[in-house]
Amino acid sequence: MMPGSRVRRCAAAGVLLLAATLTGCTGTHTAPRHATARHAAATTHPSPAPAGLPGMPPVADPHNVYRDAGANMLAPAVRHDPPLVYVPHNGSGDVWVIDQRTFRVVARYPAGVEVQHVVPSWDLRTLYSTDDVGNHLRAFDPRTGKAGRTIAVVDPYNLYFTPDGRYGISVAEDHRALYWYDPHSWAQRAVTPLPKCAGADHAEFSADGRTAVFTCEFAGAVAVVDVASRRLLRMVDMPRRYTHMGPQDIKLAPDGRHWYVADCDAGGLWVLDGAARSVQRFVRTGACAHGLYFDRPARRMFVSDRMAGSVSVLDAYTARPLATWHLPGGGSPDMGNVTADGRQLWLSGRYDDVVYVLSTSDGRLIRRIPVGNGPHGLCVWPQPGRYSLGHTGITR
């Protein structure tokens, strides 16, 4: 995300937030075996799953919270959804739909002014494109791939769902706030001001669902929020601040022991402790580390290094570097996801108006697909898992 019109509007954010506050707006899958002795011991003597947020589906495996999103572990509700990729565009304000099997664009839908992401709903039955400039979502039916109604939402740069399915959260970048909605009626229920979180961006939830961490792209920090009370708990600064482009994406390690935070300016990942209280270390990847994705067994993590034209492959538990995949001729890999079978990684080429399809076995570029102006947070569908936490398809 580059600072632009939304950043200029941030000057009025404090007034908006004060008013909001005063008015009260409101298949089988085997868990990965890790090479380290610590992980082997934990697997031999498993600890009980953490007590989750009330109403959240139980954690089946505390050593791999993504276990139920393994290869082809599709919920009955999505088993017959056609394999499509939904590509939102910042520049052309539309969503293009690509057939995963033929790599052909099969539909194009107007979706707003500056369309940022396509996000699966908690129950996996609706996809939403987010337009933060137009202040609305547009619903897509994953059964048909067709666009439907528009829904008024405040500044939805990104969209997440609480692990219990109770709220949809608009990450309102310009307003420095989180807007909490009923995900069925889309009535607004609450607002959480994040006054020091310039560029509120991406998010992730703890294994027990009780804590959410939101990245602050233009502040060099993350905001830690209590989900049940919707209260800001603390801000955590990254150890070094560069210019205005970090941090961005964030993912919880499979065993919940730490959080990975991609930082474009730093060219790598900050590693937070499991309680999200402090930064433990830094892992260098490539220029403008941006998007984070796990393979289906949750053994490897793929990091899209947007300005390096590469994807860094790390151990999902330790962040140990395993490989670097360079796009032939370079590129700008940004956001996306892994296919249901785990064989392909689809990423938007943010500054090249293309979509890249890579093999997850060796990083080979399978296809470079021309798309519209400014492709961003594309959604690969269907995704395995029991429920969605949002973004481009964080499922558990």
What DSSP character marks residue 11? G
Cα 214 from chain centre? 11
Is residue 11 pLDDT above 60, yes or no? no
The pLDDT value given to residue 55 = 95
Tokens encoding 303: 């990091």
Tokens encoding 268: 């790598």
- What's phi and psi for 65, nearest 5 deg? -65, -15
Burial (Cβ within 10 Å: 0-12, 13-18, ≥19) of residue 235: middle
**Continuous segment of H or E residues that includes residue 39:** helix 37-44
**Continuous segment of H or E residues that includes residue 291:** strand 289-294
The pLDDT value given to residue 240 = 85
Closest CA relative to residue 269, chosen from 256, 257, 251, 284:
284
**Residue of 386 and 30 predicted with greater confidence:** 386
Q: How confident is the model at residue 340 (pLDDT cuts 50, 70, 90)?
A: very high
The pLDDT value given to residue 10 = 35
Over residues 52-61, mean pLDDT:
94
Tokens encoding 93: 């304000």
Cα 127 from chain centre? 14
HSE, CB side, 13 Å, CA atoms: give it for residue 27: 17
Over residues 126-151, mean pLDDT:
98
The pLDDT value given to residue 263 = 96
The pLDDT value given to residue 98 = 98
Give residue 31's identity as a one-letter amino acid code: A
The pLDDT value given to residue 1 = 44
Dump the DSSP string for 12-77: GHHHHHHHHHHHT-----PPPPPSSHHHHHHHHSPPPPPPPPTTSPPPS-TT-TTGGG-TT---GG
Rounded CA separation 187/129 (Å): 18
Over residues 113-122, mean pLDDT:
98
**Residue of 5 and 182 predicted with greater confidence:** 182
Go through the domains of the chain in sequence order and give each one's CATH number.
Answer: 5-381 (2.130.10.10)
Rounded CA separation 363/147 (Å): 32
Please answer whether residues 239 and 266 qualify as being in contact, where contact means their C-beta atoms are separated by less than 8 angstroms.
no
Give residue 128's identity as a one-letter amino acid code: Y
Over residues 375-388, mean pLDDT:
98
**What are the strands of the beta sheet with 289-294, ordered from one edge?**
289-294, 300-305, 310-315, 321-326
Please answer whether residues 194 and 200 qualify as being in contact, where contact means their C-beta atoms are separated by less than 8 angstroms.
yes
Over residues 135-146, mean pLDDT:
98
Q: What is the pLDDT of residues 282-311, one digit of tens each?
A: 999 999 999 999 999 999 999 999 999 999
Tokens encoding 26: 């409101």
Q: What is the pLDDT of the chain when averaged over all its residues?
A: 89
**Does the pTM of the predicted model rise above 0.85?**
yes
The pLDDT value given to residue 243 = 66
Q: What is the pLDDT of residues 221-254, one digit of tens each?
A: 999 999 999 999 999 999 987 667 889 999 999 9
Please answer whether residues 331 and 363 qualify as being in contact, where contact means their C-beta atoms are separated by less than 8 angstroms.
no
Is residue 384 pLDDT above 90, yes or no? yes
- What's phi and psi for 5, nearest 5 deg? -60, -35
Over residues 156-172, mean pLDDT:
98
The pLDDT value given to residue 49 = 54
Q: What is the pLDDT of residues 13-51, one digit of tens each?
A: 333 332 333 233 333 333 333 333 333 333 334 445 557
Measured over all CA atoms, what is the biggest interatomic distance in the chain, rounded to whole angstroms? 54
